[in-house]
Structure 1
Amino acid sequence: MNQLQSMRVFVKVADLGSFVGAAGALDLSTAVVTRHVADLEARLGTRLLNRTTRRLSLTESGATYLERVRHILADLEGVEQMVVARNHEPVGTLRIVAPVVFGLHSLAPVVQSYAARYPDVVPDVTLADRHVDLVEEGFDVGILVARHMRSASIVTRRLTTGYMTVCATPAYLERHGTPTRPEDLLKHPCLSRPSEQGGEERVFIGPDGEVRVRPVNAIAANNAEMLRQFALLDMGVAILPSYLIGRDLASGRLVRLLDDYRLPPIEITIAYPSRLHLPAKVRTFIDHLVDHFQPGSGLTRDSRSAARVSAARPAAGLTSPGDLARPELSEESHEAGEPARRLPRVPRARVAASSQF
């Protein structure tokens, strides 16, 4: 029989001085109560209760055992209440893992607002672009960008969608012309990831359907933030995720190109260990993430702010009326009809730095 239950039964029998009374209080039969006590005595190899036809009394061993068992059961009850409270009230350390670039540019506001709302939770954020085993490494929540995870021990939930954006600085475009069709990228030095070096095919969806091109890389880096820095230094045309360059587009530091064309979207998902009873800190953080990135907030919210900023100031080019409907971080667009001139002399290079779109 269950030893803890036998201990609880024994305490109740000792308190009430009766097998029948204990049976009634515990909603058990008298025979079951008697067996619990007998099993304890057999396990301990000693008698705990003196039984007569008129009353029960504790033996010396029974009195000692009763005192210690009360403490054990009280401690156990305290632990159970603490665990229940942690599952119902957000408390403790919340371990979060996210890709480097997304974490640096999009995660901090979410964590800040969550920490302000739930001060008893301590967020512990890790940024990593390697494969992470959430269960093995003890993470509570992971954010995945353009990656899918299939595991019986992991639950995934769609968070939001990002977009790849073709962009360059106004200074670069003034000197070298503005591409208006995907084919024009072949005339410009491109800045992209190492796996794309040598001309990975890009598939654009435009007014006339699919357009496939293989831009020639001038510089490759495996860190999107580094590619952004190269673009800001007027070194070429970059294809970067919307969540990375929203503020640059809003301020005019970068100009979005090929406004009539779109690259495949970037799916951003939440992953967390599958549990029957999800801790409150995990449950509330997931809900907070979803609320932050829902339409009208998060990535889309930033885009609307960017659109308002761009509308309020002169822009180096024209703003497309369709911009406000595009769900990107920034909805500013510029066009220039200037023909392409000579290309800048940019040395081909490859920069190693860990990141992922």
Structure 2
Amino acid sequence: MDRLRALECFRKIAERGTFAAAARELNMTPGSMTKHINALEDQLGVQLIARTTRRMSLTEAGETYLGRITGILDEMADADETVRDLNEGPRGRVRIAAPMSFGIRQLSPMIAEMIDAYPELTIELELNDKVVDLVDAGFDIALRVSESLPNSSLIARRLCGYSRVLCASPAYIAKSPPLTRPEDLLNHNCFVYTNDSRPGFWTFSDGEHERSIQVKGRFYVNSSLAKRDALLQGCGITLTPRLVVEDLLKDGSLISLLDDFAPRELGLFALCAPQRHKLRKIRTVIDFMVRKLRANNDQSIR
């Protein structure tokens, strides 16, 4: 029995949920996959996968075994890639998790250029405004937009800064209480982005002093694009990255507010696990994003 191949088969079956799906991904036949698992179970003397004609699931022993071998297989894959990096350019698959609005408006075009520049690279991009656990979800890089990041064991690199704008539709402003200072936001229906580091706390500066206002409203959402659409209905006000609404500000669909009070800037951060950060393909992807973002002439990016 090829022990390493058997471990790879077992892990892939656990990830994909069926022998057939795992076999396709590893370019094997289901019969060959079954032989590897049977041999592994015989050697261990325990059943790892409970199989019926309709479904399969990991046994308690299988769950325990999967948890122990996953890190070992990852370390071996990292070791292989590190050695290859000594003589080759960046290659292989890089899994990236990114916020929806940034991914659609900036990252997707950037990736198109990246894979053209590096023909041996494959990028798997998942767009989701939910904050994912980078390691548990199996991502190489997680991109986060935030004022700051909590302390963790992850490697974090600040790629650029994003200016924010307080904005609403002309129709909302026409029917709402006056807004001349940040404290007036307490009288408004504010759309709150729930993935902020402190949801509902908006910080402004007059050039000398900062002040934080805890706003409230009747729409709490984890998507900047959803806030953008809601603003156009004329029922609220929000603080959002200028990049998300720049076109609507230019055509007059939205107007910026409290221009004498600058909102605190957001940072775009790339996070990765320490052992993954050493790989050339990971460093290449992050360096490429930094170059493209900092060469951008968009005034909303700093």
Q: TM-score range by the shorter chain?
A: 0.5 to 0.7
The 3-state SS of whatever aligns with 1:88 is coil
Between 1:92-101 and 1:182-191, the stretch displaced more is 182-191
Q: 1:83 to 1:213 in 2, by over 3 A?
A: closer
* Secondary structure class of the residue paired with 2:262: coil
Q: 1:121 maps to what in 2?
A: 121
Query: Residue 94 of structure 2 contacts residue 140 of structure 2 at CA under 8 Å; is this kept in 1?
Result: yes
Tell me by how many angstroms 1:219 deviates.
Answer: 2.7
Does the 8 Å CA contact 1:169/1:255 hold for their aligned counterparts? Answer: yes
Partner of 2:183: 183
> Do structure 1's residue 266 and structure 2's residue 266 form an aligned pair?
yes
Distance 1:127 1:86 in 2: 32
Question: Counterpart in 2 of 1:283?
Answer: 283
Amino acid at match of 1:281: K
* In structure 1, distance between residues paired with 2:81 and 2:282: 19
| Partner secondary structure for residue 259 of structure 2 | coil
Task: Give the Cα–Cα distance (whole angstroms) in 1 for the partners of residues 266 and 185 of structure 2.
Answer: 21
RMSD: 3.4
Deviations 1:286-317 (A, max 9, x none): 111111122x41xxx223xxxxxxxxxxxxxx
Structure 2: stretches of 5+ with no match in the other structure: 1-79
Paired AA for residue 280 in structure 1: R
Q: Match of 1:228?
A: 228
Q: How does 1:329-348 map to 2 (within 5 A)?
A: none
Q: Quick one: structure 1 residues 121 and 219, their matched pair in 2 at CA, closer, same or farther if it must change by over 3 Å? A: same
Residues in 2 aligned to 1:137 and 1:87: alpha-carbon distance in whole angstroms: 30
8 Å Cα contact 1:245/1:329 also seen in 2: no
- Aligned-pair CA distance for 1:233: 1.4
Residue-by-residue CA offset, 1:190-248 (whole Å, 9 max, x unaligned): 2223599xx94533211562344444414332322211111011112111122322232
Q: How does 1:318-357 map to 2 (within 5 A)?
A: 328=300
Alpha-carbon distance change, 262 to 141 in structure 1, aligned in 2, over 3 angstroms: same
Cα distance in structure 2, aligned partners of 1:107 and 1:169 = 28
Alignment partners' CA distance in 1, 2:230 and 2:95: 33
CA contact (8 A) 1:87 1:277 kept: no
Matches within 5 A, 1:227-246: 227-246=227-246
**Contact 1:86–1:279 under 8 Å retained in 2:** no
5 Å-filtered alignment, 1:120-139, equals 120-139=120-139
User: 96-105 or 110-119, which moves further after superposition?
Assistant: 96-105
Q: Is the 8 A contact 1:87 1:278 kept in 2?
A: no
2:118 is the alignment partner of 1:92? no
Q: 1:192 & 1:155 partners in 2: Cα distance?
A: 29
Shift of the alpha carbon at 1:93? Answer: 1.6
- Are residues 183 and 133 of structure 1, via their aligned partners in 2, closer, same or farther at CA, if it must alter by over 3 Å? closer
CA contact (8 A) 1:110 1:289 kept: yes
Question: Does the aligned pair in 2 maintain the 1:165–1:256 contact within 8 Å?
Answer: yes
Compared CA separation, residues 276 and 201, structure 1 to 2 (3 A): closer
1:96 deviation in Å? 0.9
Q: CA deviation at 1:174?
A: 4.3
- Alpha-carbon distance in structure 2 between the residues aligned to 1:88 and 1:150: 34
8 Å contact kept, 1:165–1:241: yes
- CA deviations over 1:16-37 (Å, ceiling 9, x no partner): xxxxxxxxxxxxxxxxxxxxxx
Partner of 1:302: 298
Q: Does 1:105 align with 2:105?
A: yes
Query: Max radius of gyration: which structure?
Result: 1
**How much does 1:166 deviate?**
0.6
1:195, 1:290 → 2: CA distance?
23
**1:165 has 2:161 as partner:** no
Q: How far has the Cα of 1:84 moved from its partner?
A: 1.9
Instruction: Tell me how far 1:285 sits from its aligned partner.
Output: 0.9
1:270 aligned counterpart, secondary structure: strand
State the shift of 1:180 in Å. Answer: 3.0
Identity of aligned residues (%): 29
Quote the Cα distance in structure 1 between the aligned partners of 2:174 and 2:262. 23
Query: In 1, distance between residues paired with 2:111 and 2:139?
Result: 15
Partners of 1:279 and 1:102 lie apart in 2 by 25
Give distance in 1, aligned partners of 2:81 and 2:212.
Answer: 61
Paired residues of 2:130 and 2:222 also in contact (CA < 8 A): no
CA distance in 2, matches of 1:235, 1:87: 58
Structure 1, unaligned runs of 5 or more: 1-79, 304-327, 331-357
When the two structures are superposed, what TM-score results if normalisation uses the length of structure 2? 0.61
Match of 1:337 in 2: none
> Structure 2 counterpart of 1:249, which letter?
L
Deviation at 1:276, TM superposition (A): 8.4
Cα 1:249/1:89, change in 2 over 3 Å: same
Residue 188 of structure 1 aligns with an amino acid whose one-letter code is H
